[in-house]
Amino acid sequence: MPLAALRRQLLQLTATVCSLAALLAMLDPDRVALGMGEFPVGVNGYSQFYAIYVGVRLATAALALLAARHGDQPLLGDITALFILAQPAGRLIAALAIGLPKGFLLAVCGIELAGGLLLLALRPRRPEPQR
């Protein structure tokens, strides 16, 4: 299977997973927040939770879907990968200050890191110019 097809499938999988994660966060915010080690309090706490776990995830899903449909524009997939890699990067910064995440969140971090790096590794290469 060509690299472009693999990348397109990974982008579609990313869109699906991000959409399902956002849906789960909308349907059961308290359970998702608890699983992520968060305890939203009051209107502002839940507003912030929805901004991150619904809004950003849906934006990432839309970007991944757009990138999958426009494979001739690899920059869209690169931006999607950077959105995904921003999360483990932030966790790495937190790890330097307070330690690595534990349990489920550590597994999520590993999946984000692997998925983002794989998207970048599957980036289509430009053909060499003819001389």
Q: At 125, phi and psi to the nearest 5?
A: -90, 145
Per-residue pLDDT, 71:
80
- Would you state the pLDDT for residue 4? 85
Report the interhelical angle of 57-69 vs 3-27 (nearest 10°): 160
pLDDT at 76: 94
The predicted-structure confidence for 79-121, as pLDDT tens digits, reads as follows: 999 999 999 999 999 999 999 999 989 999 999 999 999 999 9
**Prediction pTM value:** 0.87
Asked if 84 contacts 21 with a C-beta cutoff of 8 angstroms, the reply is no
- What is the per-residue burial (b if ≥16 Cβ within 10 Å, else e) of 39-63? ebeeeeeeeebbeebbebbbebbeb
pLDDT in tens, 50-84: 999 999 999 999 999 999 999 888 999 999 999 99
